[in-house]
Every structure is written in structure tokens, then in C-alpha cells.
Amino acid sequence: MTERRLPTTVCFVSGKGGVGKTMLAVAFAREISLTNRTLVVDLDFFNRGLTGLMREGRIVGDVAVPSFLASSAEGQQWMIAEVAENLYNVSYPHLTQRQMQLFEELDVHKLRDSLSDWLCAVATAYNIEFLVLDCHGGPDNSSFAAFSCLS
């Protein structure tokens, strides 16, 4: 079996919210997209600031719901949107209360493995060369999982 590897990935994390992390992630992603096919992912499921900034764009396809949310995502549609040349974003609906609870209770190692598998699958399907992950403003499982995907 061949091991799937993530494309070059940068995680934007912080110890607290309101420090400009999302704006840095967007600016960085935009700059990288000038030379690389780039996907920016809003992993701040609670605030979704990146999603607000990237709400415009041309839908280019569907993407599977990550396995850590799939059991509670019936009827939800997650999509990839092209927001600028070579710059893509994952568009998804607000998480339900049940999904938020599942997400918060999930073991960080299982979340890391699920997130890594999902990111690899999306990157492969859309020929992504560079991933930018905008994490929650404060330590949480998604930030720890995203960061540990890199090792």
C-alpha cells in the first residue's frame, strides 16, 4: 500500500482569538496561489471567519464530508470553490449541535488521522499543491490535530 502524503501545508494557529490569524492565512494563501494550486480550509468550526471572507467563488465540485463528521452529516453538501486563479476553498454548512459535540469529544489522534486522510483525498482529487489551514483562535482539538498532521 502506498502511503499518501499531504502537499506542503501551513497551519495558522494562535493561543487566543482576535490576533489576525485568519487575515494572515488568507494573505499567505493568496500569495502562495500566485505560483501554486492552493487550498485554504477553515478549521475554526466555531467562528468560521475564513468562510465569511471566502463566500464568493465558483463551485468546481463536491467533496466528501470528513469521516469525523460523516455519521451526523446526512443531507449536508461540502464543496470546493475557486475564489481566485489557483486559490480554492472548502465550502460547508454550519455544523449542527450534534456535530459540534461529536467534534469536541473526539480523541485528538483519531481526529488527526481522519483530518489527514480527508485532506489527502481532497488535495489529490483537486491537484492541490499547497494547503493552508486556518485553525481555531485558541487551543482545541482541530488545532492540535491539524498541526500533528504535519509530522
Question: 57 in helix, strand or coil?
Answer: coil
pLDDT exceeds cutoff 80 at 151? no
User: For residues 41 and 88, what is the distance between their CA atoms, to the nearest angstrom?
Assistant: 9
User: For residues 54 and 100, what is the distance between their CA atoms, to the nearest angstrom?
Assistant: 22
User: For residues 133 and 138, what is the distance between their CA atoms, to the nearest angstrom?
Assistant: 14
pTM over 0.75: yes
pLDDT for the residue numbered 1 = 41
What is the CATH superfamily name and number for domain 8-149?
P-loop containing nucleotide triphosphate hydrolases (3.40.50.300)
Residue ranges covered by each domain of the chain: 8-149
pLDDT for the residue numbered 3 = 58
pLDDT digits (tens, 9 = 90+) for 83-111: 999 999 998 888 888 888 877 788 888 88
pLDDT digits (tens, 9 = 90+) for 23-81: 999 999 999 999 999 999 998 877 877 877 777 889 999 999 888 887 766 778 899 99
pLDDT for the residue numbered 150 = 67
